[in-house]
Every structure is written in structure tokens, then in C-alpha cells.
Amino acid sequence: MQDLWNACMQALQQKISPELFNTWTRPLKFHAFTQGVLYIGIPSRVFAEEMVKALHVPFEQAIYETFGRGTRVQWKLEVDEDPNANAGKASVQRPNTRNTPDAPNAAQPTAPKGEAMQSFLNEEYTFERFCKGESNQQALNIARSIAARLNDQTFNPFFLYGPSGVGKTHLVTAIGLEVKQHHPEKRVLFVSAATFRTQYTDAVRTNKVNDFVHFYQTIDVLIIDDFQEIKTEKTQHVFFHIFNHLQSLKRKIIITCDRPPSQFEGIEERLLTRLKWGITIDIQRPDLQLRRDILHDKLRRENITSFPEEVVQYIAENVSDSVRELQGMVNSMLAFSMGNSGACSIDIDLAKRIIPRLVNQARKELNMETIMNFICERKDMKLTDLRSKTRKAPVVAARHLVCYLTHKYTETPLAQIGRALGGRDHSTIVHSCAKMEKQMAMNKVFRAEIEALETELSQL
């Protein structure tokens, strides 16, 4: 399918000027073509709107010529592959829909010790591509030390916490890549806590818990991302025993989280104690200087020369939530500079018009009521259907979807989600979320459909 996409881009290139082609196609990313739907990754909703205005006819023609008439386009909101981007929990308004290998398939991996296994490390996230500053210097130093001294237990486990988008995932991935480079025989695994939980649930269902535990006990460097998603008591219990086994063999355990161990609720005390055995370090949001450095790094890597220094300074001063948001502003500014009236220069006046609007848009919040209404509209059903006792497949699927999206993009407690869906209990909501995660991990088409809904939801 990638060949078809390449052919489509070649067809488009013949229809428009080189300047237009380079401006509008560079941020696009092909994801899939299935059942007459072409899934294309975009950096922002604004970019898609402006691109359609600028290239509507030639873009449509190129798609029809390559994929066939009647092909529909479905946008997928991308998290830009920034060297400091954290692949942790997505912000409410910008769901993380990357298809990067951030976690193994939910199906239980069983590669025995000594055989090759996939590490699920994003090869873009190296130490060399990590922008350092005062807010992350200590974490970077420790990460390098861990990668260079595998037998040193001083920093084991390494618990790295901070808000989403500050580079936690990049940094721990860099450790794994460095280890693999210098010790290719080592078994390194990157897995999200949510995927670990889903794998365990599946192992229980298929009576393969021993295989599950054995696999994890063979890992030399275990990297758990978004540890706050470990959640259930039984998952914590099995992780506790895996942790003890790896620790006893002096294997490396590396964890990222959105909060320090001291702020956890619902985590076993004995597990919390072990998380504190090594070192706990935080990464703060980037300061002004680091934000400037990150912007300059992006512009340099992508050979973007149209940004005056005063525009870089303005973005750095007004966008501070995360590295991802900084990246998105650059892409949006590029999009806004190309309109129906032709190209316009990127200058401070354009920045002052565009940036405040985008920042305010990015800070909108979702709630469960909005999500429920959205799903009902998309699935052509009523709120009373979601709250009813019916077990009709379409309604059950919609409930699972509401549970998953509400849990992912709001802070609504699981018990409250259950009450809003007709008085369902905590375990039912946990099961719904786990079922969704498993289906998304196992079925790429299903995952693309859910990510498309997430993109629509982010644009409300």
C-alpha cells in the first residue's frame, strides 16, 4: 500500500508547483487504505483545513487516479515525532494517534531466552536527538549512566516522572537503544503499563499466566511506560513478582509515570516501597531557553528557513505546555502561511494572529457528557440506549467506546463512569477498557477506526 501512496504523491507532484507540493505534502503520513478509506496522518486540524483549501481539486484527482474513484479520506491527528516528545498519555484535546511501536502487541509474547525478540523501541528517540536543558539535565545524566553501566545497581529501578510531553518516553527509549547498540545480545523490552495490563488479562483468560510471567522474567532491561495505568490489584500483584525476580538477578527496571510514587493511590504498599529502592527523578516542563532550543532543532532538522527569530521567540514565550504543542505550532504556522490567496510570509504579525487562537483551542477540555453525546451521534443511538440493560452488540460496543474514551481523556473515576452508564460496577468498566485496548492492539483496522473517532472528538 505504501507504493500506492508514493504513486499518489508522484501524481500530485505533476499537478502543482514544487513550492506547493513541498509545503503541503511534507507533514502528511500514509497509514492505511482499507475498504475504500484512505487514512492520512496530519499534524493538526488547522493544517488539514488549509491544505484542502489550497489543494482540493488536484489532491482529489491524484487520489482517485491512484486509489480509485469514490475513495474517502479520513484524517488522523498525528503527534509529531519530536526528539523530546513523550509518548505518554495524550492531552485531552490532541489524542495521541501515532502508529509508532510504543508497545508490543497485546497477544502474549513468548520468545524464549536467547532468541531474537522485538524490543518496540522508537529508533528516533536517541540521546543525540534529545534537547537538553536545565529542566531535564539531571534526568539525562542519570539515563546515560544507566545505559553505560548495566551492572551498577545504584539507579535500579529508575523511576522517571513528569507531565505529558516533556520527553520521558524519549529518554527511557534512548537507554534501551544505547544498550542494544553496545550489548545486542541483551533482551530489551519497551511496553506501556496499559498493554502489560491487557496482556496479563488475556493470559488469565487463556490460562497462560505462567508463560506470561516467564517471558517477562527473561528480560534484561524492562521499560514500563505510563506506570499510572497499572491500575488493577491483580496486575500489580503479578508485576510485583516480576519486579522481585528481575531485581534479584540485577536486571534493569525503568519506569515512566505522570506522578511520583508518593502521590499514588490504590497501589500496593509493598510495590510502592520497591519503586523507591533506586532513584526517582522528575522532568519539568521546558523553560524558555529549552523551548527556543527545541524549536530551533526542529527547524534545523526539517530544513525550514522561513521562520524569523522573533517568531521563534514569540512561540517560545507563549507556548509552554509541552514539546508536542511547540511542534504543532510550527506546523500550523506553515499551514497558515499558505492560503487561498497564495503564499504569505511568516512574520510576527501572523504569529500574533494565529498563536493565541491555537493555544486557546488546544486548552479546551472534554467531559463524559460530551463524549457520550458524541458517540450517540456517531452511532445513531440515544443516551437511554447506553444506560439501558440491553446486550445488543451495537449498544455494547458503544458503551465500551464511551468507557475507553472517558477513561483516556478525562479524570472521571471508574465508579462514576459506571454510574453514568446505568449503574454498572467498577469491574465492568475495567473490562470494557481492557477489551478496547486488546482489540486495538490486535486489529489495525479497528484501531484506525477508533483513532479516527478520537481525531473527530479532539476537534469539537
Weakest mean pLDDT among 81-95, 226-240, 445-459: 81-95
Residue-wise pLDDT for 73-123, tens only, equals 988 876 433 333 333 332 222 223 333 333 344 444 544 444 457 888 988
Q: Helical H runs in 363-443?
A: 368-379, 383-387, 393-409, 414-420, 426-442
Mean pLDDT value across residues 267-280: 88
Q: What angle do CA 408, 28, 350 make, to 5 degrees?
A: 90
- What per-residue confidence (pLDDT) applies to 86? 34
- What per-residue confidence (pLDDT) applies to 372? 92
Cβ 232 vs Cβ 430: under 8 Å: yes
C-alpha cell at 82: 519530536
Nearest CA-CA partner of 311 in 345, 340, 359: 345
- What per-residue confidence (pLDDT) applies to 46? 62
- What per-residue confidence (pLDDT) applies to 459? 57
3-state helix, strand, coil in the chain (%, to 5): 55, 10, 35
Phi, psi values for residue 222, rounded to 5°: -105, 120
Banded pLDDT at 38 (limits 50, 70, 90): very high
Banded pLDDT at 364 (limits 50, 70, 90): low
Cβ 413 vs Cβ 397: under 8 Å: no
CATH of 2-77, one of 3.40.50.720, 1.20.1440.230, 3.30.300.180, 3.90.950.20: 3.30.300.180
The Cα 236–Cα 293 span in angstroms is 39
Classify domain 137-282 by CATH number. 3.40.50.300
Q: Which residues fall within 8 angstroms of residue 56, CB to CB, at 6 or more apart?
A: none
Kindly report the CATH class assigned to 368-458: mainly alpha
Cβ 205 vs Cβ 240: under 8 Å: no
pTM summary value = 0.56
The Cα 314–Cα 359 span in angstroms is 13
Average pLDDT, the chain: 82
- What per-residue confidence (pLDDT) applies to 361? 52
- What per-residue confidence (pLDDT) applies to 120? 87
The Cα 429–Cα 435 span in angstroms is 10
161 forms beta bridges with 257, 282
Nearest CA-CA partner of 236 in 189, 203, 193, 278: 193
Confirm whether 288-362 and 368-458 share one CATH topology.
no
Q: Quick check: helix, strand or coil at residue 452? A: helix
C-alpha cell at 425: 460496577
Residue-wise pLDDT for 368-401, tens only, equals 888 999 999 988 899 999 999 888 999 999 999 9
Mean pLDDT value across residues 253-259: 94
- What per-residue confidence (pLDDT) applies to 44? 66
The Cα 437–Cα 452 span in angstroms is 15
Give percent of the chain with pLDDT exceeding 70: 86
Amino acid sitting at position 456: E
Classify domain 288-362 by CATH number. 1.10.8
Give percent of the chain with pLDDT exceeding 90: 29
- What per-residue confidence (pLDDT) applies to 458? 63
Domain boundaries, the chain: 2-77, 137-282, 288-362, 368-458
